[in-house]
Amino acid sequence: MTKTASDKPMRRPTGATPYAAIWFTLGGAGLGYLCVAFFAPHLLPDFSGGRLSERASETQVLQVSADVEYLKSSLTKLQADVESVKSDVSAQATQTLQLGSQLAALDEKVHAAPTQTSALVQSSPPPTPDVPDFASGATQAHVEDAPAAPPPTKVINASPQPAPQVGAPIVTGSVTKSTSADAISFGPAVVKPAPKPIGIQIATDASVDGLRITWSALAQTHPDQLGTLTAHYADLGTAANPNFGLIAGPIKSKADAKKICKELTAQSVSCKISDFKGAAL
């Protein structure tokens, strides 16, 4: 029994269909794109358009603006620092000029003071003691032995006398001498020397100029103790070893001098009580 043609199995065509070829082509293109994107991404075109470049340019502009603002603030701060340095330099220059003028004035005073002091010492006469003046070489014993002035007389009248008449004799009352109690006697003259003024010795130096500088510094540093005092210098050394002492005074009493010395010693200043002697500094 034979089969009909419709009963025979149909064979599929062995050749590639167009549909399979299209998919094969698309798959190869995708695989190639992935390989290029992985190994050489710079070869791929920019599909994002100009948006990314615009955003990048805006970001760069903002960053540049921020940098410019930072530079402006830095320049402003630098200018302020320069102005401050200029003001400091000008103030320092002014102070230097003032110090220079003060030093020049002090130098002039230092050079002029010895001449004034020597002229003052030469012009001032030596002090004379307060001694009573005995004229014509008379001594104190002669004055004591000289007769005192006659005491006044007293007139004692027993009764009031009538007015004298013309040609009548003049009648006087009795005249008696006063008692010895009415006589004035002078004792021997006593000369009391004036008490020496008190001072404090606060420094020594080999030159008078050094004492002037020391006194200027001490008077400015300790105005409460030395502000009202005057400075003298006294020669304490010899010709081979000159030494001068700085003496401040006058001070009313030794108690005040001890108090001032105690305060100066507490502030590391040497001090001892002395006579206020020497010449003006």
Provide mean pLDDT across the span 31-36: 82
Last residue of a domain, one of 70, 98, 116: 116
Model confidence pLDDT, tens digit, residues 130-182: 544 444 444 443 434 444 555 555 544 445 555 555 555 555 554 445 445 55
If one counts the domains in the chain, the total is: 3
* One domain for residues 272 and 212: yes
Any domain includes 190: no
* One domain for residues 98 and 26: no
Last residue of a domain, one of 93, 116, 139: 116
* One domain for residues 267 and 236: yes
* One domain for residues 34 and 90: no
Model confidence pLDDT, tens digit, residues 3-18: 555 555 565 555 557 8
Tokens 């830095």 correspond to: 74
What domain range is 32 assigned to? Answer: 19-48
Any domain includes 253: yes
Residue 233's CATH number: 3.30.70
- Work out the mean pLDDT of the chain and round it to a whole number: 75
Q: Is the pLDDT confidence value at 192 over 80?
A: no
Distance (Å, whole) CA 234 – CA 248: 11
Mean pLDDT: which of 169-173, 188-192, 262-266 is highest? 262-266
Output the pLDDT for position 196: 84
Model confidence pLDDT, tens digit, residues 61-112: 888 888 898 999 999 999 899 998 998 898 888 888 888 888 888 888 887 7
* One domain for residues 61 and 34: no
Last residue of a domain, one of 72, 97, 116: 116
Alpha helices in 124-207 (DSSP H): 140-145
Tokens of 118: 């020597």
Q: Which of 242, 158, 237, 234 is nearest to 200 (CA)?
A: 234
Distance (Å, whole) CA 279 – CA 113: 11
* One domain for residues 36 and 110: no
Output the pLDDT for position 133: 47
Output the pLDDT for position 201: 94
Any domain includes 226: yes
Tokens of 137: 């070489």
Which neighbouring-strand residues pair with 279?
233
* One domain for residues 100 and 36: no
> Cα–Cα distances in Å, from 82 out to 78, 89, 94, 96?
6, 10, 18, 21
42-44-48 Cα angle (round to 5):
105
